[in-house]
Amino acid sequence: MEQQYETEFIFKYWLKFKNILMDGIIIGAANTMFALAATVIGPFKNFLPNFIMAHSLGITVSLAILFSVLIFRPRTWKLFLLIAGIDICFGLFIGLQISFIIMRYFFDIVLSWQTQNLGPQAMLAGIMASAVILYFLTTKIRLRYRNEMIEQEKIKRMAVEKESLLANLRMLQAQIEPHFLFNTLSNILSLIDTKPDKGKSMLLDLTKYLRTSLSRTLPEKTMLSQEITMIKAYLDIQKIRMDERLNYTIDVPDNLWQHPFPPMLLQPLVENALKHGLEPKVEGGEIVIRAIRDNGLLKVEVSDTGLGFSDFDTSRVGITNVRERLGLLFGEKGRLIIEENKPHGVLAIIEVPISEL
């Protein structure tokens, strides 16, 4: 693919006048050098005819190559070389005729194709010179193209990295809600005097919850069981806070317990179900977490019997984060589906491809 578009780049490169001028100067300098060399070793010991001939050949060949590249936009190197070859032969021939005309009209030097075997010699020298210059220029352009590609690749990679870093950061920031933390601490403080055992178990749950959520700065491979353990600790804390207003069920089959599952996807959904669904509801309700394997997909559901969609028109940051992370991890194959739970509440389903876990 890349190879195919390299020639395209020559086209783009020569679309800029500045680049044409630069290459023109290089070609001009090279041709002057060739003229000097021809004066030393060629049949004419006079510099002027050599100079005129070298430049008229050079200019016609360069223009021929330039215009045919701009017009035909060769896609492959083979095509490019074919076109350049034709241009060289054709350009040299025309250029030679032009130089004869210039010599005759301006300097009274009559030259022809046969003069001292000039034609074949000039053609041969021209082909060699063109090949050298062409090789030099295409290498230069190719190098520049490579650098540009590398630069673009770098920018692209940096953008992706930045995006994933930001997503992780947002995830971490959203992870521990200060409201939850301070409420839990007040509860523990209260329980220490009245029911020290309950307070102790709440403190242990909080420790478990904090350890898991704070230690995961990078999304390494984790098991579903780790996620569930953390969620259980979280729900146990909330259970003490909300008392009989909260019930929960976790239904994960034994064979999925040790299944790999990315961290920080499930937790925000559970927190949302609680914060927007059950906490604001006077009677409270139930949360059910269920995992199933289905058709090459691992599906994890979080359903609640809370307030439901009525409270839903404000953006829920947690959900946006989950979707972003699913996208980063699995592209279009990872999905977050949000539906109405019957008879009320919200059902959130995470679908991830098992093959990519």
Q: By CB under 8 A, name the binding residues for another protein.
A: 178-179, 181-183, 185-187, 189-191, 193-194, 240-243, 245, 279-282, 284, 309, 312-315, 319-320, 323, 332, 335, 337-340, 342, 347
Q: Give me the half-sphere count of Cα atoms (radius 13 Å) on the Cβ side of residue 303.
A: 15
Amino acid code (one letter) for 262: P
Picking from 116, 4, 134, the residue whose alpha carbon sits closest to that of residue 68 is 134
Q: Closest Cα partner for 206 from 168, 180, 245?
A: 180
Tokens representing 64 are: 């021929």
Q: Tokens 């650098």 correspond to what residue?
A: 147
State the burial class of residue 224 (Cβ atoms within 10 Å of its Cβ: 0-12, 13-18, 19+). buried
| Minimum CB–partner distance for residue 166 and another protein (Å) | 15
Give the DSSP H/E element, type plus range, for residue 303. strand 297-304
Closer to another protein by CB, 264 or 274: give it: 274
Separation CA 333–CA 352 (nearest Å) = 7
Q: How far is the CB of 280 from another protein (least distance, A)?
A: 5
Question: Closest approach of Cβ 267 to another protein, in Å?
Answer: 19
First-to-last C-alpha distance (Å) of the chain = 30
Report CA 47 to chain centroid distance, whole Å: 56
Cα(232)–Cα(246) distance, integer angstroms: 13
DSSP secondary structure letters along 162-219: HHHHHHHHHHHHHHS-HHHHHHHHHHHHHHHHH-HHHHHHHHHHHHHHHHHHHH-SS-
Closer CB to another protein, 110 or 282, in the complex = 282
Q: Work out how close the CB of 179 gets to another protein at its nearest, in angstroms, rounded to a whole number.
A: 5
Provide, rounded to whole angstroms, the least separation between the CB of residue 91 and another protein.
36
CA gap 323, 147 in Å, rounded:
35
> From the CB of 44, what's the least distance to another protein, in Å?
56
Nearer to another protein, 32 or 183 (CB): 183
Alpha carbons 116 and 124: distance in angstroms, whole number: 14
The smaller minimum CB distance to another protein, of residues 120 and 331, is found at 331
Closest CA to 10 of 129, 131, 134, 155: 134
The smaller minimum CB distance to another protein, of residues 29 and 189, is found at 189
User: Nearest distance from residue 15's CB to another protein, in Å?
Assistant: 18
For another protein, give the closer residue by CB, 170 or 241. Answer: 241
Bridge partner residues of 248 (DSSP): 287
Q: Tell how strand 285-294 and strand 246-251 pair up.
A: parallel
Q: Write down the least CB distance from residue 351 to another protein, Å.
A: 10
Residue (9 or 312) nearer to another protein, CB: 312
Q: Please identify, using beta-carbon distances, which residue of 220 and 283 lies nearer to another protein.
A: 283
- Looking at the Cβ atoms of 20 and 172, the one nearer to another protein is 172
| Minimum distance from residue 295 beta carbon to another protein (Å) | 15
In terms of CB distance, is 104 or 162 closer to another protein?
Answer: 162
In angstroms, what is the minimal distance from the CB of 319 to another protein? 7
